[in-house]
Structure 1
Amino acid sequence: MAKVQKAENTQRESLEKSVRALGGTWDPSRGMQTLRDAGYHPSEKYIREVYRRLADSGLLEKVDEHRAIYFVIEK
């Protein structure tokens, strides 16, 4: 269980680092490709969850109320 949780935290940290470094607009496909390039196999549902957490922390802002599209507002 701890190994799974550690892998999840590493994925989330990797995605957050990329979001901060690259900025701009993020949708689920961009997040999935970013994590795939880093060697992970995320689901779209997982990416949406991470985006919601990053929005709650003030890093992202949702720009489309009907779709999971976010913009980086903090560097």
Structure 2
Amino acid sequence: MRALGGIWDPARGMTILRDTGFDPTEKYVRRIYRDLADAGLLTKIQDRPVQYRTTEQLH
């Protein structure tokens, strides 16, 4: 996600996962985003529609 950068919404996550051979649901992608946000890797920037951005990588 950091390599691709930008804003992440469920549609983008679903597209990326489908391109790699998975068939995710929107609910699954939202759960993954929440888990990544809880781990400090994503920051929620908007609720409706939900959007995240990657956090800055610490050196």
Measured against the shorter chain, the TM-score band is 0.7 to 0.9
Q: Which runs of 4+ in 1 moved over 2 A?
A: none
Task: Tell me the matched-pair count.
Answer: 57
Residue from 27, 32, 37 that aligns with 2:9: 27
Who wins on radius of gyration, i.e. which is larger?
A: 1
- State the TM-score, normalizing by the size of structure 1: 0.69
> Comparing both structures, which one devotes a greater share of its residues to helix?
1
- State the TM-score, normalizing by the size of structure 2: 0.86
Structure 1 residue runs of 5 or longer lacking an equivalent are 1-18
Structure 2 residue runs of 5 or longer lacking an equivalent are none
Counterpart in the other structure of 1:51 = 33
* Percent of aligned pairs sharing the same letter: 54
Choose between structure 1 and 2 for higher RCO, CA contacts under 8 A separated by at least 6 residues.
Answer: 2
RMSD across aligned C-alpha pairs, in angstroms? 1.1
Residue from 34, 44, 47 that aligns with 1:62: 44
